[in-house]
Amino acid sequence: MLSSPLAFPVRLQEGCMTVLDETVLPFEEKYIEVRTLEEALWVLGSMKTRALGQVLLFFYACVLFQDQFSIDDIVDKFKTVRPTFDFPLLGSLFADGLEKEKDGKTAVEHFIGYFDSSIRRMAKILAALLPNPANILTICNVNGALVYVYEELEKIGKEALFYVCETRPYLQGTRLTFWELCKNNIPCRLLCINQAARLMTENKINAIVTGADRATKKGDIINKVGTYSLARLGHYFNIPFYPLTHYPKDIDVDAIEIEERPAEEVFMFLEGNFDKIDSIYPSFDITKSEFVTRPIVVMPSPDY
């Protein structure tokens, strides 16, 4: 059985959370103890965890700090730090879980089990759609999902090779996606995103698979910046684009605030003082449904 620490990067312990520090991977597997809401917000803002990690961080924060803060207060504080992600939805889910379960911890355990089983079902659906051999281009990280996809491909006798974009400037593709694939001996190659068109021209890519931080019922998505360019390239080269989406909503993606990270983060892996040099870092971009072949819905929209 293949596995990855990124599938469950945040865990609840007695009185605190332990968070896998994704900023020091792949050189070190280090865990941070979080005991206060302020520490949780620091972990979130400093990109120590993201994607599924920020979902688990929010849920466990609600469990640990619900006697000190209301759910709405925690939603507001998380959204101030990472405005593009749908923390109000998570707040609604947690509140709904509290009505159905005896306590917050049990509700979160139910959600985690549902998330994991949903991702495994999604992996099975996607594996059936992918060609054989599947030469899959991806960007950023989707927390263990690609490991599940590879398992499902093996079950039905399909071969796979993952082309992993490095994902500037935090290099999540290099430090997270590529690391967890290598850790499981899954065939993969690392590339810069500006090499993608060259590979497509050479017919080395036959599918694009990404995550999605937000999704609409029309099939639009918001994901890590760089996703849109890959979708447009895929559309031009007639390569299917499959985003893994969760909880699609009837929303206008153009109205969602796109988080602007601190400009100096563009230079984060260079030595020197770049505070006075102009740069921009929008963290996400929007891909409209016309460039999406088929969204793979990990979790359907909840009724609450």
Domains 5-113 and 130-299 belong to one CATH topology: no
Say whether pLDDT at 41 is over 60.
yes
Say whether pLDDT at 102 is over 80.
no
What is the separation, in whole angstroms, between the first and last Cα of the chain? 35
pLDDT of residue 54: 94
Tell me which amino acid residue 143 is: N
162 has which bridge partners? 136, 188
User: How confident is the model over 99-103, as a mean pLDDT?
Assistant: 84
For the chain, the average pLDDT equals: 93
Residue 77, Cβ neighbours under 10 Å: how many? 19
Q: Please give the structure tokens belonging to residue 123.
A: 């992996």
249 has which bridge partners? 216
- Percent of the chain residues topping a pLDDT of 90: 77
pLDDT of residue 146: 95
The domain 130-299: what is its CATH number? 3.40.50.10470
Query: DSSP 3-state assignment of 224?
Result: strand
pLDDT of residue 275: 76
Q: Comparing 120 with 269, which gets the higher pLDDT? A: 120
pLDDT of residue 264: 86
The CA angle 274-176-93, to the nearest 5 degrees, is: 100
The 10s digit of each residue's pLDDT in 129-184 is 999 999 999 998 788 899 999 999 999 999 999 999 999 998 999 999 999 999 99
The CA angle 210-216-218, to the nearest 5 degrees, is: 100
Gap between the Cα atoms of 26 and 293, Å rounded: 32
Q: Of 67, 72, 76, 213, which is the active-site residue?
A: 213
Instruction: Indicate the domain borders of the chain.
Output: 5-113, 130-299
Q: Please give the structure tokens belonging to residue 83.
A: 């405005």
* Alpha carbon 256 to its chain's center: 18
Per-residue b or e along 258-297, where b marks 16 or more CB atoms closer than 10 Å to that residue's CB: ebebeeebbbbeeeeeeeeeeeebebbbbbeeebbbebbb
Residue with tokens 């993608």: 196
* Alpha carbon 284 to its chain's center: 11
Residue with tokens 């920020």: 54
The 10s digit of each residue's pLDDT in 252-295 is 999 999 999 988 888 888 888 877 788 899 999 999 999 999 99
pLDDT of residue 33: 97
pLDDT of residue 301: 57
Gap between the Cα atoms of 187 and 206, Å rounded: 15
Return the CATH class of domain 5-113: mainly alpha
Reported residue count of the chain is 304
User: Are 151 and 121 within 8 A, CB to CB?
Assistant: no
pLDDT of residue 269: 80
The CA angle 5-173-120, to the nearest 5 degrees, is: 50
Tell me which amino acid residue 242 is: Y
pLDDT of residue 263: 86
pLDDT of residue 304: 35
Q: Comparing 4 with 241, which gets the higher pLDDT? A: 241
The 10s digit of each residue's pLDDT in 46-96 is 999 988 899 999 999 999 999 999 999 999 999 999 999 999 999 999 999
Say whether pLDDT at 6 is over 70.
yes
Q: Is 213 noted as a catalytic residue in this protein? A: yes
pLDDT of residue 302: 56
Q: Comparing 115 with 204, which gets the higher pLDDT? A: 204
Residue with tokens 């609604």: 92
Three-state SS annotation for 231-294: HHHHHHCCCCEEEEEECCECCCHHHCCCCECCHHHHHCCCCCCCCCCCCCCECEEEECHHHCCC
The 10s digit of each residue's pLDDT in 191-240 is 999 999 999 999 999 999 999 999 999 999 999 999 999 999 999 999 99
